[in-house]
Amino acid sequence: MVDFRSLVISNIFLILLFLLKKIDSSQYRSVRQIEANQCPNLNNNACLFVNCENGGECIEDPTTIDCFKCQCIPGYTGKICDTQIPIIPIGCNPGCQNGGVCIGNSCQCNPGFTGIICDTQIPIIPIGCNPGCQNGGVCIDNSCKCSPGFTGKICDTQIPIIPIGCNPGCQNGGVCIDNSCKCSPGFTGTYCEIKVNNPCDPNPCGIHGICFGINLSHGPIAYCNCENRWTGRYCDVNIDVNCPIGYCFSGGTCGMIGNVPYCTCPAMYTGERCEFFVGTLTTTTTVVPECPLNCAPGRCIFSGNAQKPYACLWNGVMRPTDGTTG
């Protein structure tokens, strides 16, 4: 015969444990184990003594040691649904890793980590490569080894692509245009590497002439274009009406340097008064003979007379052009 008194006392004891301590199965399992296989003796009324929290529903389950289980609503867990599952913001889902904290729907990572959920460890960059090699560069032996086409301490500078015709590069400010170097003034050469000697720097023509540089096969020369009433190679001879008449021979132009007459000789003549014929080249490159007259003790000069082009000069006086010295 069943001892109803013992059964009632046992049930009251279980109720007190649930209400006063809210114990789970691990807390009151030993009590149930004292009277093994007691679930059938509860007549399927175990949920009368269980309060599933936070909206959980009690379901009698004689297969469990506690004779029941709580079916929790989403967001809660535990034997009696008394544990809330932390809500992870969408931006931090599935959760910040490596000690990161979700703030403002995003993960704030600990030093040394990065990524949306702090799942990526930041490589330790040697000091020489800090803040990091760019454009595919690799840090080796504390310095950046750059990919082709880049240079700089951290490979942050792209090397200009030089056209083949301008390789190894235009110098002295030259610019590569249409695969060739266009040089700055004062420079020449394939790569503008040759400095051009400017014959007009400094200006040899003084204040009375304009200098023009002329490039000849043997190099550049200066040519002076003189102002009116000035002559000479460097425009330093003032043409004066007081120049002695007939002072310059051979078609030379007379000028004055102070009070001293000065002759500017035509081509192929030289001397203080243009009295010396130095010869010239004809179209057949034959040399015109020098003055044929015997002018001793004077000198043979070009008279400017087309019929008798030669004359003798002695003591400043031009002698007859027939070759006599009388």
Residue 110, pLDDT score: 92
What HEC string does 124-182 produce?
CCCHHHCCCCCCCCEEECCEEECCCCEECCCCCEECCCCCHHHCCCCCCCCEEECCEEE
pLDDT in tens, 260-274: 677 888 877 888 888
Single out the residue in 238, 269, 296 at which a domain terminates.
Answer: 238
Average pLDDT in the 176-200 region?
Answer: 83
CA–CA gap between residue 317 and residue 307 (Å, rounded): 20
Largest Cα separation within the chain, whole Å, is 188
Together in a domain, 175 and 206: no
Mind giving me the DSSP string for 181-209? EEPPTTEESTTS-EE---TTSS-TTTTSE
Place of tokens 């200066």: 222
Q: How far is CA 159 from CA 150, 166, 203, 287, in A?
A: 5, 15, 42, 61
Please give the residue range of the domain that contains residue 96: 90-121
Helix%, strand%, coil% for the chain, nearest 5 = 15, 25, 60
- Specify the higher pLDDT residue, 216 or 199: 199
Together in a domain, 14 and 73: yes
Residue 244, pLDDT score: 76
218 has a pLDDT exceeding 80: no
- Specify the higher pLDDT residue, 220 or 172: 172
Provide the pLDDT confidence category of residue 35 given band limits of 50, 70 and 90.
Answer: very low
Residue 71 neighbours by CB under 8 Å, 6+ apart: 52, 56, 57, 58, 59
Conformation bin of residue 229: beta by default, left when phi > 0, alpha when psi is -120 to 50: left
Residue 180 sits in a domain of what CATH number?
2.10.25.10
CA dihedral of residues 226, 228, 231, 237 (deg, nearest 10)? -120
Whether omega for the bond prior to residue 292 falls within 30 degrees of 0, making it cis, is: no
Residue 109, pLDDT score: 92
Whether omega for the bond prior to residue 131 falls within 30 degrees of 0, making it cis, is: yes
Average pLDDT in the 8-29 region?
Answer: 54
Together in a domain, 98 and 56: no
1 has a pLDDT exceeding 60: no
Residue 70, pLDDT score: 93
Lowest mean pLDDT among 130-139, 207-216, 230-239: 230-239
Strand partners, 313: 299, 318
- Specify the higher pLDDT residue, 206 or 91: 206
Mark out the alpha helices in the chain (DSSP H runs).
4-21, 25-34
Lowest mean pLDDT among 213-217, 247-251, 316-320: 316-320
Whether omega for the bond prior to residue 297 falls within 30 degrees of 0, making it cis, is: yes
The encoded tokens of residue 8 equal: 């009632």
Residue 283, pLDDT score: 30
Average pLDDT in the 4-32 region?
Answer: 53
* Sign, CA torsion 159/194/189/197: positive
Q: What percent of the chain has pLDDT over 70?
A: 65
Average pLDDT in the 116-136 region?
Answer: 80
Together in a domain, 23 and 73: yes
CB-CB contact of 44 with 50 (8 Å): no
User: How many domains are there within the chain?
Assistant: 6
Together in a domain, 45 and 111: no
Together in a domain, 255 and 230: no
Which of helix, strand or coil describes residue 291? coil
pLDDT in tens, 272-304: 888 888 765 333 222 234 567 777 766 666 555
